[in-house]
Amino acid sequence: MSAAFEAEVWREKARALRAVQDMAGADRAIAEAARLAPTDPLTTFLRAQSAYELGHPAAALFAEAVRCWPENPDVLRNHALALASEGHHAEAEAVLTRALAARPDWLDGQRVLASLRYSHGDAETYDAGFAEAVRAQPRNQGLWLGWFTLRAQQRDWPAARRILDKAGAHLGETRALAVARAFLASECGALGEAQTRLAALTGADDEFLVLCRIRTALRAGDAAAARDLALPLTATRLAGQVWPYLSTAWRMLGDPNAAWLDGDPVLHGVLDPGLSAAEITDLAALLRRLHTASLPYAEQSVRHGTQTDRSILLRHEPLLGTVRARLMEALRDFVANLPPPDPRHPVLGRARGGLQISGSWSVRLGAGGFNVTHSHPVGWFSAVLYVALPDDPGAAPAGALHLGAPPPELGVTLDPYAVIPPHVGHVVAFPSILWHGTYPFAAGERLNIAFDVVPTSV
C-alpha cells in the first residue's frame, strides 16, 4: 500500500469520525494522514483546521498549509484567524492586507479583515479595506454591497446610505442597489419610501428581497400580507428564516396556528444538567480565558459583551467534554418528553433518533449587556447554560430570557410566551425558530454557553 493511498484512507477515517463529532478521534486520524503525506495540500489544510477547531495552536500548521496550497484563499483566511486566536492580531491583519492588496475583490477576505479589526476594538475604521477596494475597483458591485452589508449589520444607517449613494454614482441604479435601498428605507423606519421602492421592484424576488417584503409588511401592520408572503416559503430552504415571521403574523391575526406553531409551553423548558458547583466555577474560569475579543463580531446578536469563535463544545479541554456530555444528556431527556410527532410541524415533525451540536459559543455580557431579539434558522432546539450571573442584576426582568416576542424594530407589540430568569447551572431549551432575546441588566457579569442541536437519524 502506497503512502499516498494510506494517507487517503486515514483522511476518510477522519471525515467519518468528524461526521459523528468525535473531534479528538478525527484529529488523530488526520494527523496520521499528514504524517504519511506531509506535502499533500488538502491533508495539510485539514490537519491545521482540525487543530484550530479543537482549540489547539494552529497558526504554524496553517502556515505550512499555505505553503502547500498557496492558491486556496480559504487556507489563507483560516491562517489569519488562527493567528488572531493566538493573540497575533497585527500579523493576522498583515496576512489579509497583503492578499487583499493583490486581490481587492476577495470578498471573504475583506469581511474577515473587517471582522477582526472590529472585534479587537476598532469600531471606527474597521471597514477601511472595503473603502480601499472600491477605490481600486469602483465598478465592482459585489464590493459595494459587501461594504453596505457590513455597515447595515451595525445598523449604522447613515454610513450605509452614503455607501449606496457612492455606489450609485459609479454603477447607476442597478436592481441590486434598488433592493438595498428598499431594505435600508424599511429598516430606517421610512415606511412609505420602502413600500414605494418595493412596489417598483418587479420580477422574481431573491431571498433577501422577499424577507424585506415580509418585514416591511409587518412594520405596516399588514399581517395578512406578511402571512401570504411567508407561508409558501415554509416549504423551501428559507423555512428556518420565515417561521418566526409567520408566527408573528399569525399572532397579530389571532390565528390559532400561532399556538400550534410555538405557543405550547411544553416546547421550552428549564433543565438541570447536574453540574457541580466546582465544575461551574472551573468552567467560568475557562470561559473567561477564551473571551479575548474587545467587541462582539458585527454580525452577532451580542450588545455590550463578547462572543467566542469556533464551536466551544467541540474544543479539546476535558472540562468542556464533560459539560458537553451532560448538556446533551439533558437535551436528549427533554426531547424524549416532547409531544408526539406532527409531520406538519417544523419542530415536532423532525426525526428524533439522535442529536448533534450544530453550533456552540459562549457569551460574556457586562453592565447593560443583552442579546437583541433573533432566531436560529439552522438549528432545531437551542439552549443556554448559565455559568455566572450578577449578584444584583436590577429589577425584574433584568437579565431574563424572553421567548416569542418579535424584534422591537418591527414595531409589533406582542407579549413574550415566557420570561425566564437565569439561574447558575441551569439550562433553558427552546425551539430554534422561536424569537428570543435577553433583557439588559444593571451591573456585573453574565456568562453562559449557548448551543444549537439538530436531529440525526440514529
Residue 429 pairs with which residues in a beta bridge? 269, 383
Give per-residue pLDDT as tens, 348-373.
999 888 999 999 999 999 999 999 99
pLDDT the model gives residue 123: 87
Residue 270 pairs with which residues in a beta bridge? 428
User: Which residues have C-beta within 8 Å of that of residue 182, sequence separation ≥ 6?
Assistant: 194, 197, 198, 201, 209, 212, 216
**Residue 163 · residue 171 · CB < 8 Å:** no
- For 106-127, what is the mean pLDDT? 94
- For 241-267, what is the mean pLDDT? 98
Phi-psi region of 63 (alpha: psi -120 to 50; beta: other; left: phi over 0): alpha
> Looking at the predicted structure, is the pLDDT value of residue 203 above 90?
no
Confidence at 205, pLDDT banded by 50, 70, 90: confident
Residue 418 pairs with which residues in a beta bridge? 403
> Looking at the predicted structure, is the pLDDT value of residue 70 above 60?
yes
- The residue extents of the domains of the chain are 181-263, 265-456
The three cell numbers of residue 357 are 451540536
Distance, CA of 66 to CA of 77 (rounded, Å)? 10
User: Which residues have C-beta within 8 Å of that of residue 131, sequence separation ≥ 6?
Assistant: 147
Distance, CA of 314 to CA of 451 (rounded, Å)? 11
Confidence at 1, pLDDT banded by 50, 70, 90: low
Query: Which amino acid appears at position 280 of this protein?
Result: I
pLDDT the model gives residue 448: 98
- For 399-403, what is the mean pLDDT? 97
Nearest to 227 by CA among 264, 253, 202, 262: 253
**Residue 388 · residue 424 · CB < 8 Å:** yes
> Looking at the predicted structure, is the pLDDT value of residue 395 above 60?
yes
Distance, CA of 75 to CA of 16 (rounded, Å)? 22
Which CATH code for domain 265-456?
2.60.120.620
Confidence at 295, pLDDT banded by 50, 70, 90: confident
Distance, CA of 101 to CA of 107 (rounded, Å)? 12
Confidence at 298, pLDDT banded by 50, 70, 90: low
pLDDT the model gives residue 299: 67
> Looking at the predicted structure, is the pLDDT value of residue 202 above 80?
yes
The three cell numbers of residue 144 are 459595494
First to last CA, the chain: 34
User: Which residues have C-beta within 8 Å of that of residue 306, sequence separation ≥ 6?
Assistant: 119, 291, 293, 294, 295, 296, 363, 364
Give percent above pLDDT 70 in the chain.
Answer: 99
pLDDT the model gives residue 121: 87
Burial class (CB in 10 A: 0-12, 13-18, 19+), 456: middle
Mean pLDDT of the chain: 96
Q: How far is CA 67 from CA 7, 57, 198, 419, in A?
A: 19, 18, 49, 52
Nearest to 214 by CA among 199, 236, 229: 229
Helices 223-230 & 207-219 angle (0-180, nearest 10): 160
> Looking at the predicted structure, is the pLDDT value of residue 345 above 90?
yes
For residue 173, the 8-state DSSP code is S
pLDDT the model gives residue 419: 98
Distance, CA of 65 to CA of 72 (rounded, Å)? 10
The three cell numbers of residue 75 are 487556507
pLDDT the model gives residue 458: 56
Whole-prediction pTM: 0.94
pLDDT the model gives residue 406: 98
